[in-house]
Structure 1
Amino acid sequence: MADPQDRRLLLVHAHPDDETINNGATMARYVSEGAHVTLITCTLGEEGEVLVPELAHLAADQTDQLGEHRITELADAMAELGVTDHRFLGGPGKYRDTGMIYNDEGNADTPPDTRKDSFWQADLTAAANDLVPIIRELRPQVLVTYDEYGNYGHPDHIKAHRVAMYAAALAAAPSYREDLGAAWDIPKIYWTAIIESSMRASLRELRAAGDTTTFEGMDPEGPMPPMITPDRFIDAIVDGSAYMDRKMNAMKAHATQITVDGPFFALSNNNGSSIFGDEGYRLVKGTAAPGPKGVEDDLFAGVA
């Protein structure tokens, strides 16, 4: 088992705020345990919707300064989680937020027209080469990113998945780009996942409380959308209940993107909702080391 002080976790996310929503409690936990946690964010999130009226002028269709503002929001969120090593892929602003549309099925999709400097249009090998030297520098035992669908179809999430997975393969090849550092083969790779049973439990609580608008159209007893992962595919669950306050504070730091005064967030605050307190993962590389409950409770489980 790796010494807690020598654990190295690398996370690759598309936009500022994705890391906190998906893995905030996980990040806070491992920082508190002494692990080195590194976040790579691929874009500045320039195309995001601005939820703060007095900052509406920052939007992409106005002054287009939202990306610069979100750098500060990300720094504030990471301060809440205790993460001191957070970087932008290739440097701040190298890859532009692609934006997204909703398709006829109601899922996120790629806009019909995307900018040439968008992350979606970036050359895969070139983008991977911005991540390979980081992998070889840090030599992480664990990598966390999205699944092949980007968890919900956003093109930048899909691209982040592709870049992370390709960079991990390239970084492991001794003959690939010796100028980018000595080869490193990441022992364990996980894809983030929203646990189906947790989502259904939260939906039941919301509906029982009379809330029919949060996650509108989702029936706690009905079919789930693609972003929800069946429990049988969940390999690890990090119990982040002890870090919920930090996670919620980090979410509040992303003020232009997240409003935390709705019923769902009240549910999370008051009841320690498992959808935020328990963070799920699918193991896609490495050997699982399940705990007493049949799934891993530590992403570093089994790492020498």
Structure 2
Amino acid sequence: MIRDAGSSRRLLVLHAHPDDESIMTGGTIARYLDAGVDVTVVTFTLGEEGEVIGDTWAQLVADGGADQLGGYRIGELASALDVLAGAGALRPRFLGGAGHWRDSGMAGSPAAEHPRALVNASPDEPVTALADIIAELRPQVVIGYDPAGTYGHPDHRQVYRISTEAVAAAADRWRVDKHYWSVTARTPLIDGIGAARSLPAGWRMPADGELPSYPDDEVSTAVDVSAVYDRKVEALRRHATQVTVAPSGTEYALSNNILQPILAEEHFILVEGERGETDATGRERDLFAGVTGARGR
């Protein structure tokens, strides 16, 4: 059993594919690194089944192409992490090792039939792999996904299941203080869409309710990332096969060309652990609020 491992703060951030870390938590990663927190990002797949924006790398795709996109996206992830953390300070780490589990593709797609697809992993193997990482790194705070997997992607749903079970499975070796879901609060999302001043050619505005969000009163924690906003935007640009950043630098789109705002706050729901100090809105402003030091058993 692990006893007190010291008072240093450690944050484990879990994502399904390269680019998710920058889209959902890029500002949080940069902010806490700047504050001296030991941050680790673990990505579950290489994102082999992603659609490619533009013609330059279009033939790397899995479906009818060279099936080399996953390897290329490792480079995009490394570049984005360099922006967020400083060159070489935060290297890509993949659950089970790079390429162990494969991007499952969208629900119902042929990609889900691949024997290495994350959705076809044995129920226990990825949980054990992640529990071992938790025991190794001893994070006080873990960030994962909600049960819907943000927008329903099968791999995102797997991140939810695996992270939830792994936090519990690791508890006899290391007990996490706080487990969060990465989400988006509804009002900031709506305000961000409304603040868009122009629509790049070929893009469209999202329909009402099209982008996933949570009611404001269900969001427990909001992290101000305005001081590292430019780094978050640049990290998004580094995922050029998947993300286009608008000329304004305040919106982005995936291959579907639906405008999404780049917010100066990142939002979370605390699902395990005790809520720390809150502000007048009832939200925590620090993921480590209430964490007095490392806790172990």
TM category, shorter? 0.7 to 0.9
Q: Are the equivalent residues in 2 in contact too, given 1:41–1:87 (CA < 8 A)? A: yes
Aligned length: 276
| 2:151 match: secondary structure | coil
Structure 1 stretch displaced more, 146-155 or 195-204? 195-204
The answer (yes or no) to whether the contact 1:8–1:142 under 8 Å persists in 2 is yes
Q: Is the 8 A contact 1:289 1:301 kept in 2?
A: yes
**C-alpha distance 257-217 of structure 1, shift in aligned 2 (>3 A):** closer
Give matches, 1:250-261, under 5 Å: 250-261=235-246
Q: Give the Cα separation in 2 of the matches to 1:110 and 1:247.
A: 32
Q: CA-atom RMSD, angstroms?
A: 2.4
CA distance in 1, matches of 2:250, 2:181: 27
Q: Which residue of 1 aligns with 2:215?
A: 230
Instruction: Give the equivalent residue in structure 1 for 2:234.
Output: 249
Question: How much has 1:200 moved relative to structure 2?
Answer: 0.9
Cα separation, 2, equivalents of 1:267 and 1:54? 23
Distance 1:286 1:5, change over 3 A: closer
The match for 1:16 is 18
The answer to whether the Cα contact below 8 Å between 1:244 and 1:277 also exists between their aligned partners in 2 is yes
CA distance in 2, matches of 1:5, 1:33: 14
In structure 2, how many angstroms separate the alpha carbons of the residues matched to 1:215 and 1:235? 31
**1:37, 1:85 within 8 Å by CA — same for their partners in 2?**
no
Return the letter of the residue paired with 1:158. R
Partners of 2:118 and 2:155 within 8 A in 1: yes
Q: CA deviation at 1:52?
A: 3.3
Give the structure with the higher percent helix.
1
1:52 corresponds to: 54
1:36-57: CA deviation from partner (whole Å, max 9, x where unpaired): 0000000000000111311111
Q: Which residue of 1 aligns with 2:224?
A: 239
Deviates more, 1:291-300 or 1:184-193: 291-300
The aligned counterpart of 2:290 is 302
Counterparts of 1:176-191 in structure 2 under 5 Å?
183-191=173-181
Select the residue among 266, 282, 287 that pairs with 2:274. 287
Q: Could you say if the C-alpha distance between residues 260 and 225 of structure 1 is closer, same or farther in structure 2, counting changes exceeding 3 Å?
A: closer
From the superposition, tell whether residues 300 and 274 of structure 1 become closer, same or farther in structure 2 (CA, over 3 Å). Answer: farther
Aligned residue for 1:99?
Answer: 105
Equivalents in 1 of 2:215, 2:271: separation in Å? 15
Compute the displacement of 1:227 (Å): 1.8
Q: Percent identity at matched positions?
A: 41
Kindly indicate whether residue 102 of structure 2 is the aligned counterpart of residue 64 of structure 1. Answer: no
Runs (5+) with no aligned partner, structure 1: 101-108, 175-182
Any residues of structure 2 matched to 1:146-225 within 5 Å, and which? 146-172=145-171, 174=172, 183-206=173-196, 209=198, 216-219=205-208, 224-225=209-210
- DSSP 3-state at the match of 1:152: helix
- Work out the CA distance in 1 between the residues paired with 2:82 and 2:199: 36
> 1:110–1:287: structure 2 CA closer, same or farther, 3 Å change rule?
farther
SS at match of 1:284: strand
CA contact (8 A) 2:250 2:261 kept: no
Aligned partners of 1:163 and 1:41: how far apart in 2? 12
Q: What is the DSSP-based 3-state SS (H/G/I as helix, E as strand, rest coil) of the residue aligned with 1:190?
A: strand
How far residue 274 of structure 1 moved from its aligned partner, in angstroms, is 7.5
1:53 alignment partner, SS class: coil
Offset of 1:261 from its aligned partner? 2.9
What is the distance in 2 between the residues matched to 1:214 and 1:147?
A: 28
- 1:87 aligns to 2:84 (yes or no): no
Measure, in 2, the Cα distance between the counterparts of 1:249 and 1:148: 29
